[in-house]
Structures are given as C-alpha cells and as structure tokens.
Structure 1
C-alpha cells in the first residue's frame, strides 16, 4: 500500500494530461491551418482556371471573328496571289461585258465558279470541324486539369490525415514512454529510500553497540602509554585527576582571596591619605582666602587715601592758577615765517 501511494505521489498525471491536451490543440490548430491553406489553394486554382477559360474563350471568339472576316471579305479570287503572272487580271475583268462565243470568253466559268464555291464550302466545313475538334480537345484538357487538381487536393488531404495519424501515434508513444519512465524513477527512488533507511538503522545499531558510547575510561588510554589519550574515545577524568584539579582550584581561590584582601587594605589606606590631603588643602585654601581678604581691605584703604589727596591737590591748583589760557593765547604763535 505504501509503495502504491509513493509511486502515485511521484507521477504528475495532471501535468502529463495538460501536455497531451496542449499537443492535441496544437495539432488541431495546425490541421485547421493546413485545411485553410488547402481551401485557399483550391479557390485560387479555380479562379485561375476561370481566368484561363475566359482568356481562351476571348481568343477563340477573336480567332472566329478573324476567320469570318476573311471568308466574307477576303476571298481567294480577290487576293493578289491568285494569279502570279497577272494579279490584277480578274479585278480588271469585273466590268467587261463580252458576248458569248467571242475570243477570250471562258465557257467553263460557271463550273469553275461552282467548284470554287464548293471548295470554299469544304474549307469552311473543315475549319468548323477543326474548330469543334479544338474546342472539344480544350474542354477535355480543362476537365483533365480539373481532375488533376482534385486528385492533388485529395492526395494532399490524405497525406495530411496520414501526418495527423503519425503525430497522434508519436504523442501516444511519448505519453506512454513518459509514464513508464516516471514509474521507473518512482520505483528507483523508493528502492534508494529503502536502502538509505536500512543503512541508517545499521549505522545506529553499530553506534549503540560499539565502544564509542560506553563509559569505560580505559578505552581513552592510548596504546603508547598513560600520558597519551585518544581524543575519539576519551570518557572524562579519573577520581585522582578530579581531586588534584579540585585542590588546585581551591589553592587558586585562596590565593585570589588573599590578593583581594591586600588590594582592599591598600585601597583603604589610599582613601585615608586622599581624605587627609583634601582636608589639608581645604584648610590652606581657607587661610589663603583670609589673607587675600585682608590684602584687599588694606589696598582699598590706601586707594581711598590717595584719591582724597589727589582731590585736595586739585582744589589747591584751582585756587592758585586762576588765569587759564584760551585759544587766543595759542593763536599768537607761528603767525609769520620768521
């Protein structure tokens, strides 16, 4: 049941049917195109035949008119070639009236004229017979041509049917081949899947039963000696190795704690020194501020005394020097070149 489902799931029957339908539609379109082309060819051939018939009919009518004109208006006795020694002999004798029995009279003219008329009648009948024969032969040729065209069209249709049948056979064979190939591929994939599953189960069983998953520590020792180990079969440390590692780790922890205690003691001393330094700096800063304040106070008093003395001196000078020079005093200088 599983094989059947697996195979059916691998064959895309809808896609194959779609391809077959598309091929059939394409063949049908090609057949319709060929039929249309054949119909156009037949129609063109018929039109060409009708044109040929009309042209031949016009030529026959023209030829018949020419022959009638020659029979009625160009008799043999009126031609220049009728008497090579004297072409105008008959034409010159048309108006001459001669008595019977005279010299130069043709006693057998009536018989000769009758023979000429009979000969002309025979020629006319012969020409009509030849014309009828030619027309009959032309009709036979046209009928044979039409029959040949019909035979060619029938042969073309027959060849088209044979080609369509061949294409259908090829399409059916292709479809059967594709179905067979798809079934073979599905069967092949199914067998490959089964083989892969069997290989996987065998591999899992070998892994479970092998030495790789066992917890024996002896298999990790190399054949070259105890210091060497096998990385592919290493199962962990022994109890002695674990105790040694734990002791080393404990020693490292104690050493680290001692170093941390020393660092904390050193940091505490540094903090105390920084606090003392800050306190000393603060006291010195306050003392400097008091000194600066006292210096500023002394300087302010000195400046006030100097300002008062300057003010008193200015008042004294204003009392002593009453005649202040103006512009007229300065304008008297540099009035000449000497």
Structure 2
C-alpha cells in the first residue's frame, strides 16, 4: 500500500520562508545589478539593517566566547586539582610497591640466587664427593664411567624444569589478577574522591549562599527596627515638647503668684510643679535623683559603646575574610594569566607556521581567469 507524505504546518512555513528569501534575492539582484539605480545611490535602510544584524551577531559571539572562556578556566582548575591528586596517588602506590619489594622480594630469596651467589665457591662440595667411590690423595679424579647417575639426574632436572615453568605461569597469572584488582580499586578510589570533591564544593556554595541570605535578613531587620525606634522616639519627643509648652503657657507659674504653690492638704504642703524654692532636704533628694539619672545614662552609654565595639569587631572580621578572599582571587588570576600567556605563545607559534604555509604554498598559486569569473554572480 502506498504511503503519501502529508505536509504539516512546519513544512508550509518552511516553504513560505524559502519563497520569501527567493523573492528577496530576486529584488536585491534587480536593485544591485541595475546600473541606473546603482549610479543614483545605495539602499541606506538595508545597509543600516545589515550593520545592526552584524553588531548583534558580534555581541552574541562575544558573549559566547566569554562564557566558553569562563568554563574553560573552571575546567582547567579542576584538571589541575585532579592531576595533582593522581600524581599523589601514583607516588603513594610506588612507595608501597618499593616497601613490598624490600620486605618480600629480597635478592637472597630469589629462586635463581644460587647462580648469582657471591659465596658459591665456599659452599661447593669437593669434586667427585657424591660419586660413591673414594678418591685417593694422589688420584687424578675418577675417570671410569664419569657420571653414572646421568639418566636419573636428567629426568629429575626435566621434572624440576617443568615444575618451575608451571610455577612461573601461575605466578604470572596471579600477578596479572592482582594488578587488575589494584587498577580497579584505584579507579574506584579516584571516582569516589571526585564525587566527594564535587559534593563538598556544592555544599560550600550552598552554605555561603545561606550565610549571605541570613546576614542580609539580619541587617534588614536591624535597619527596620532602628528606623521604627527612631520614629517612635521622635514622635514621643515632639509630643512631650508640645505638652510641655502648652503646660508652661497655661500654668500659673508664669504669673508669679505665690499662692499657687500652696496645697490644700496643709500649710506645710506645697505643689511641686509650682514651687519656686527648695530646702536642703529637698535639694538632697533632688541631687540623689539626679545621680540616679546620671548612673542610668552612663549605663546606657556603656551598653551603646559595647554594642558599637561588637559591631566594629564584626566589621573587622568581615574585612579580614574579604582580604583573604581577595588574596586567593589574586593568586587565581595570576595562575590564569600565566596559562593565558602560555596559550598565547602557542597560538603565536601556530600563527607563524600558518603564515609561513600561506606564504610558501597558498600565495604562490597564480589566479586564472576561471578564478575571477566566479565573482559578482550573486548579490551576496
């Protein structure tokens, strides 16, 4: 059964876009290749639109380049850290291998040590000592038969050789298995360390973010509380001043009337806010109250100074932390500058090689008429 391809909305839009671009190309070709229009002037709005498009494309490319450079710097720093960890791990494994060899693979414990023993002559038996027949003092050694146990010794040597070969094969297999296990364990340790480093980095960024948010909220709360307290104090002071002015203006004290200070409770009683003179007892009470007020003001001032000192200590600690972070950032920037200098040197060398190639190979080709005939065929 034949299956027909049904065009959808996307296909229709693509066809419309192609037709629109084709019409624009035809109009542009008629406008550019028309000698009359070309002599009169150029399409300024179209050129301005082209300039705007080029500028937007250049800005977008600059943004992409900056993002790529930042990511490349971050990857380079991570690669340096991982390389240092790998070097440290390899150094530790090498030390463990050397320690194992010194403890369990000594020279005198080798199977072929008897061939390289410097004291082998001291350990050898006299000639013909194991042949069974005694040798006299003036004998030139025993010549009859010469090695009567040759066949038996040959079989023993062949069996021993086969056992050695089998043992070497087993040892090699065991060593290969151990090496594979060690490599697998090493890779698992590297992956675990990388995962732990990523997790620690993520936790550190989250803690910094939460600490910054907490400090911001705390500072905002303090500022709001201080603003509210100042507003309340200002309103209270204004109300007190207004009440005081009103009471002074409406009181009998300004009238200089001595009778207003008399109290209805007795002749020895006086109204305090209208009384114009004090005896010694009243002065003592007044001075005592004044001292109490001075002590309260001093305590309040000391509390404010203590709070100010705590704020200063906190500000100094923050400044020290900022200075330490600035030093770390400067070190990172110096490292990045050094890497950029090395990359620029490499790019300069590549540029010289490319210029040499263009000068010696590409620019030596003489263009022909066929090369020039391909230009000025389209509007682009």
Rg: which structure is higher?
Answer: 1
TM exceeds 0.5? Answer: no
Which structure has more RCO (C-alpha within 8 Å, separation ≥ 6)?
1
TM-score (norm 1): 0.39
